[in-house]
Structure 1
């Protein structure tokens, strides 16, 4: 899971709690020294909130922790705030479990932003498209059961119908056009996205091939509220929680969004691409 429930976050919470007690400071007094609330200190020490590296450094300074110990805890904070998982890990667990984890992340967020340079999000995929897209990457290992993964991916989409949550998708035109399936399935996928783009809680934008962009669209990234960014690479994924990292990706997402067609313009482009695929089929 990308959420702060792994070994480094737990170790960090334990370490911060253990160094405060010998110092003889109450949670209230430490909070005052760090310009934090006592409630936040408590949530950090119990592992319910993952502190940023900056917050950890403020706590260490307030407790006057010796240099070597402070460096060890700061390094632990950095590991806790940046997690990497390889696709081999997902393969061992089963791809369907990864879909369940992603659903939990979306269900726990009010605003989800996704930048998609090469393929539509699983939240946007039809069942037939998802099956075709997953098939080439699935080895013979039985834990990577395609049908189970497709069902889990389809279940993820239930969160789109919760209008208390909002979803913003920015795709490149290449992501829309790249052939992962037959022309018929591709046309169906484009029409499906055009329909979803008209939902009140969905903002779907497409960067046309002719657009000038501010940065190279190298990786898929997803922003959950303003608390977590996941970046997908060929070898695996990275989770970022540092405020500076989140701010960077929020700004990058906004800039890509400015280069994109949205609303009726995006729907029109998707319908044109769908029509093109249907002509190919004929």
Structure 2
């Protein structure tokens, strides 16, 4: 978890403690506030000590219980600031995958050059509907989120229209393992690899593959997307990280450049894709 995120969460906890101890109804102990809210008192202290992130309902309830309902907008603003950087999957997927896809589509619309690194999956920007369907289904099962798979697939596929926009550039690098990962049936993967081959001739797409045998300048860690050097979105199991500070973006861009140095393109990349598509 990022240092800036934790500092902001600590600051929110300090503000919550202040409301608990100085409210117009007098000082409340942690157990007293927990009893009012129907929470274990351990939750009170976890929130105040920055060891747990409140949700919007928690903050509204806290403001009401401490006699400061007027503080709710301020607390919610602080929460919004937190979530602008660390967006938990649990919250994002509360209503399914479609809203997440819509948020990403909005960023794509604002972007001229998109830099993509993926180490385990074919990037969403070039997925076939069947491949995307398999990925969404597995993720929804993991996160126990609502199943809006078909809506999410349609949103992802519509976003791919940008691949044919002459004003945009997509610079994509993948680890060879992403071509071979059976996150779907072999038939679906074969069709997906055929789709990659077809996209390699587009002048709006640069596609590179980092072979298993390539000497690496940096280890092929988690996937990330760089939007015009103004935003990075990186995925982890618990959350998406939306990173917009200049220094951090520069680190990701250097990382992408190092990965690119290990990649092959053109005929050499096509050869690896073809090899991955052969029956096993």
Structure 2: gaps (5+ residues): 1-7, 9-77
**TM-score by structure 1 length?**
0.67
Query: What is the deviation of 1:272?
Result: 2.1
The 5 A counterparts of 1:15-26 are none
Match of 2:172 among 144, 169, 173: 169
Question: Aligned to 1:171, what secondary structure does the other structure show?
Answer: strand
Q: Residue 102 of structure 1 aligns with which residue? A: 104
Is contact 1:100-1:156 (8 Å) kept?
Answer: no
- Per-residue Cα deviation, 1:202-261 (whole angstroms, up to 9, x for no partner): 011010000121222221111000111111111111111111111111111011011011
The 2-side partners of 1:184 and 1:130 are apart by: 14
3-state SS of 1:119 partner: coil
The CA distance in 2 between the partners of 1:176 and 1:124, in whole Å, is 12
Q: Distance in 2 between matches of 1:97 and 1:181?
A: 23
Partner residue of 1:155 out of 140, 155, 158: 158
- The CA deviation string for residues 32-64 of structure 1, in whole angstroms up to 9 with x for no partner, is xxxxxxxxxxxxxxxxxxxxxxxxxxxxxxxxx
Q: Which runs of 4+ in 1 moved over 2 A?
A: 79-82, 139-144
Distance (whole Å) between structure 2 residues aligned to residue 80 and residue 135 of structure 1 = 28
Preserved contact between residue 91 and residue 144 of structure 1 (Cα < 8 Å): no
Q: CA 1:110 to 1:200, structure 2 compared with 1: closer, same or farther past 3 Å?
A: same
Alignment partner of 2:85: what SS? strand
Does residue 90 in structure 1 map to residue 92 in structure 2? yes
User: CA deviation digits over 1:178-201, x for unaligned, max 9?
Assistant: 001121111111110111121101
Asked whether the equivalents of residues 96 and 144 of structure 1 are also in contact (C-alpha less than 8 Å), the reply is no
Q: Deviations over 1:10-36 (max 9, x none)?
A: xxxxxxxxxxxxxxxxxxxxxxxxxxx
Q: Is the 8 A contact 1:81 1:242 kept in 2?
A: no
Q: Helix, strand or coil for the counterpart of 1:223?
A: strand
Equivalent residue in structure 2 for 1:230, among 233, 250, 253? 233
The residue matched to 1:229 in structure 2 has which SS? strand
The residue number in structure 2 matching 1:220 is 223
Aligned counterpart for 1:185 among listed residues 183, 188, 195 = 188
Q: Return the alpha-carbon distance in structure 1 between the equivalents of residues 191 and 121 of structure 2.
A: 15
Cα distance between partner residues in 1 of 2:119 and 2:99: 24
Name the structure 1 match of 2:260. 257
RMSD between aligned alpha carbons? 2.0
Residue 40 of structure 2 is matched in structure 1 by none
Higher relative contact order (CA 8 A, sep 6+): 1
Measured in 1, the distance between the counterparts of 2:91 and 2:121 equals 22
